Amino acid sequence: MTLPAQLDKLRKHTQIAGLLISILILVVLFLRLVVRGNHGSDSDLPELKGRPTASKESMDVIERIIMKQRGKISTSIISVLTVTLVGIVEGKPIVITFALFYLRKKVLSNKASDPGLLASVTMGSATTIWIDKSTLNPTDVAMCFVGTEEVIQSASLDIAKMPELVREALGNGPATTILRKCSSYYNAKGETNVLDEDKRQNFQRNIEMMQSQNLKTFAFACKQIHSADVEENDSIVIAMVGLKKNACCAKMKETLKAFQDAEVKIRLVSEDGVSELEEIATACKILPPGGLTTSDAILEKERKCCRKLGSRTNDTPMLREADLGAAMGSWSSQMARESSDLVVFDGSLSSLLTVKSCGRCTYHNIQKYIQLELVTNIAGALIASITTMLLGSNSITGIQLFWANLLTTLVAGPALLMEPPKTELMQKAPIRPTEPLISKPMWRNIV
């Protein structure tokens, strides 16, 4: 059950409890009135000798409402109304919403976007996270060639508007394959040159040089088109890059270890071969004891508590199918972001760990707030109802009971709800969807 559903269920139960107590008080008062009768001896107004001043009358009325409990019928009615009011307004969704907004702005402002406010709480209860291999095996551009010249890190670029509108087909792929389909290339100045045999050999030497450094060569090409039919030959080479695969670094292993300490499983999802995925999983120390599997039933089995990370358009179906989808990186595709409940800006697992920590902290803070609210309201309701039913009068005025509830909501509530995340929360097991919002230790503390 989601957190909003649990809060709504608690609110309904509190409303019912408040109304039942109010009805019980009215029934008891009615029976007392029938048995004893009412002869006017319980009037709220004191006997006056002479006519007091207007200011004296006003002060007496205020003192009688706030402090004194001489009458029984009017006092009892106020008690009934107060208990009913306390029961109906319980839940305080506005206070919880503002506290969640503040905590998200403080902790997740530069980490992730959580439009629904509760996506981080859902992530905090995750037991399985499905990720693509690119998240564990990021790729960097080690070398880049425009024409036959290498682009250095301090290079600059001038952008100019083309004199006329043209339609171009863009393509990319392995450098050797793309090079065969091109008959010209762009140089560093943006000029088109013929790709003759000498230049083609220069391109081939650059490809071999990058491959000798264990870099994966990649090329980009384009071609002006004038119809819907596009032929791949006679394209223009835009650039070639050498991609370096980063092995699972120490920081990545530390982040994965933190997820394992939090009892969260990391699952790899990819269209590549099992051998390549096993190599990545072994390097990151997340390989299951039984090895990897290609079964499609795993996602359905763990769907109720699984979170899927993705950034590409073809990740959209799984992002929608998972309990919570997270788009990794602000550069992810628009369809992936629209299908996700959460967007992690830098696409790193360390930022996702921060989101999970914030989610667990939020859930824990809400539990502490609800515990305080229940202690205050149960104590006030019991005192008001028991004293009213047994004695016919209440030792706590309606304003006093309402004032205590207001202070708990507006002063103590935000202080508990805005507590920052703590490290020890990540050492505990994740919250299961079937667990009740009010746990057994909470009931023990309330009692």
Q: How far is CA 266 from the centre of its chain?
A: 18
Q: CA nearest 17: which of 380, 404, 402, 364?
A: 380
CATH number of 139-155+164-245: 3.40.1110.10
pLDDT in tens, 358-384: 888 888 888 888 888 888 878 877 777
- pLDDT value of position 207: 92
Tokens of 365: 């803070």
- pLDDT value of position 219: 93
For residues 132-153, one letter each, b for 16 or more C-beta atoms within 10 angstroms of the residue's C-beta and e for the rest, the string is: bbbbbbeeeeebbbbbbeebee
pLDDT in tens, 82-140: 554 554 454 456 777 777 788 778 877 788 887 777 778 888 888 888 887 777 777 77
Domain ranges for the chain: 3-45+54-92+360-424+440-446, 112-137+248-345, 139-155+164-245
pLDDT in tens, 45-67: 455 455 555 655 665 655 555 44
Query: CA-CA distances (angstroms) from residue 55 to 47, 103, 309, 388?
Result: 17, 49, 70, 31
Q: Does domain 112-137+248-345 have CATH number 3.40.50.970?
A: no
Coil vs helix vs strand at 116: coil
Is the pLDDT assigned to residue 36 strictly greater than 70?
no
pLDDT in tens, 171-182: 888 899 999 889
Confidence (pTM):
0.67
